[in-house]
Structure 1
């Protein structure tokens, strides 16, 4: 390779490109984590190697000469091409991951039976599921997507919120429990049987038995007559075991009703403005978009 064909040092070209783009040696040093004298020295060395000035120095910064403009165009394009190529290589080498936050009930009764379908569509995606009964906080919880229960009109500091299911609640129990309590015919008969409670929150985030009785114009029985659990998964399991009557949220109990593990006591659903919400808080990636589209399709919603 002849001396004229030999490329200047990459570090000098990088510093030149930054200084030319920012029109300042000081700003270039700040961007590159270097010092102004170091940037200036590298540029001077580059000018000496090329035998021509690349900048006109002034009190308010630097401007490119004609030769500097030509070199900047070539170097800027080359560095952009290198950045794009290295980013693509890193992306192919980095495992695709999706972190999803939701509550125990939704994860157990709705998501898990369907998750294999998503994995079949995107087998290379590593899915991490985080469950909690606490209110989802987009500003602190580390998740790409959340399926959270709450009010769609709340101040969610996230990039997008879509209501997947409204809060739709019916009393449910096991077939054996209903057979053992044939007098259960109307809502007014419920105070005479054990009730299964989901531990409330303050402020209230979901329907309680007290709310359900109030909607039907009835006085709620004392809570101590029933059993209280801190997750809906335990509530549903206790109902299946015949330990009492529970409030059943759609779509969590849909499969349990369809398979006969639970039965709906009365055709008296209570529907509120709350519900399960899809909360997207990360910048959209192909994996996030794919999961979002799959989820909306599973919920019977139009693709976005």
Structure 2
């Protein structure tokens, strides 16, 4: 045991490293962890000294992972995620009805959180534990009751929403750089990217440009100023803040579009066979009880959202014209 302890960094150091690597910013990691930037920097430096290799390249603005840092980050991220999920599994639940739901950051923030009051009204006393991860979680292998994640169809997963994508940005950015009359104009604007995974599970800018303009502006888009995030909520936040154009997924950005915090930059929504899918342990719906009630509520909310979305295109076309 003592040998293993000497070979492994301290758990807290791994947590600090994972946050710094995910944000690529020591200050942002410190804010997330409730500590100071020097404390994060000190922990990372101690790890680098212990391992004998640099994990980050210090740049003028922020940091970037070295090859060794990338390799360690993947392992640490997966290990901490497994530890968190297992901890949730063994934690003693209260007697009130409880569920564990795994989903990604964007779905949790932009779709689920605004509907928590409706969920509480539909299932009074429900204890809902939400586990967020950009990695897909299979409830047949991990102790969660349901998983809502983005990807392609397969197995016994139920599709909640089809992938429907349109470029979005702040109205101020559109007024400043507009009018945008085509994909070539869009390619000249700063583009906001969500870090892709393998295998590819969602539309990225390369796919959008290839579909929209037969790939012609793709090279220009590749050379345009861009920001890359591994958390979709940060992509949307950057778009609202006027930092660039993002690919907006319905229904995640619907309310922001309705409130005028975002506007359609250009183009019509594009749909694919991918989307948000619901996965649950086999027999969950047939078993009745709290799982069946939650699934029924979830499907009803999704159906209502699809119907409401059908009324939006005309209003958004007017909004786009006003911002141009």
TM range (shorter): 0.5 to 0.7
Say if 2:121 is the partner of 1:120. Answer: yes
Residue 228 (structure 2) aligns with: 228
Q: Offset at 1:95?
A: 2.5
Map of 1:107-186 to 2, 5 A cutoff?
Answer: 107-152=108-153, 154=154, 156=155, 160-186=156-182
Which runs of structure 2 are paired with 1:257-268 in the superposition (5 Å)? 257-268=257-268
Q: What is the DSSP-based 3-state SS (H/G/I as helix, E as strand, rest coil) of the residue aligned with 1:260? A: coil
1:247 is matched with which residue? 247
Deviations 1:143-195 (A, max 9, x none): 1011111111x2x4xxx421110000000000110010123221121121100
- The SS at the match of 2:129 is strand
SS, match of residue 106 in structure 2: helix
Instruction: Output the TM-score relative to the length of structure 2.
Output: 0.60
Cα offset for 1:222? 1.8
Structure 2: any 5+ residue segments left out of the alignment?
1-93, 305-324
Give, in whole Å, the separation in 2 of the partners of 1:286 and 1:138.
18
Q: Does residue 299 of the first structure (1) align with residue 302 of the second (2)?
A: yes
Number of equivalenced pairs: 204
Matched residue of 2:102: which SS? Answer: strand
Residue aligned with 1:148, SS = strand
Unaligned runs of 5+ in 1: 1-92
Q: What does residue 290 of structure 2 align with?
A: 287
**Distance in 2, Cα, partners of 1:146 & 1:139:** 10
Shift of 1:300: 1.3
1:82-101 → structure 2 map (5 Å cutoff)? 94-101=95-102
| Contact 2:180–2:266 (8 Å) recurs in 1 | no
Q: Equivalent of 1:197, from 184, 193, 196?
A: 193
DSSP 3-state at the match of 1:300: helix
Q: Report the 3-state secondary structure (helix = DSSP H, G, I; strand = E; otherwise coil) of the residue aligned with 2:143.
A: coil
More helix by share: 2
Counting only pairs closer than 5 Å after superposition, residues 261-280 of structure 1 correspond to structure 2 as: 261-280=261-280
**2: distance between equivalents of 1:190 and 1:274?**
24
- Please state how far the C-alpha of 1:279 moved relative to its aligned partner: 1.1
Distance 1:139 1:295, change over 3 A: closer
Q: Partners in 1 of 2:192 and 2:179 — Cα distance?
A: 18
Deviation of residue 224 (structure 1)? 6.7
Alpha carbons of 1:201 and 1:224: their partners in 2 closer, same or farther (altered >3 Å)?
A: farther
Contact 2:165–2:248, Cα closer than 8 Å, also in 1: yes
Larger Rg: 1
CA distance in 1, matches of 2:185, 2:246: 14
Mapped contact 2:169–2:244 kept (Cα < 8 A): yes
> Equivalents in 2 of 1:228, 1:250: separation in Å?
20
| TM-score normalised by L of structure 1 | 0.64
SS of the residue 1:170 aligns to: strand
Q: Deviations over 1:104-147 (max 9, x none)?
A: 00110111100111112222221100110002233432210111
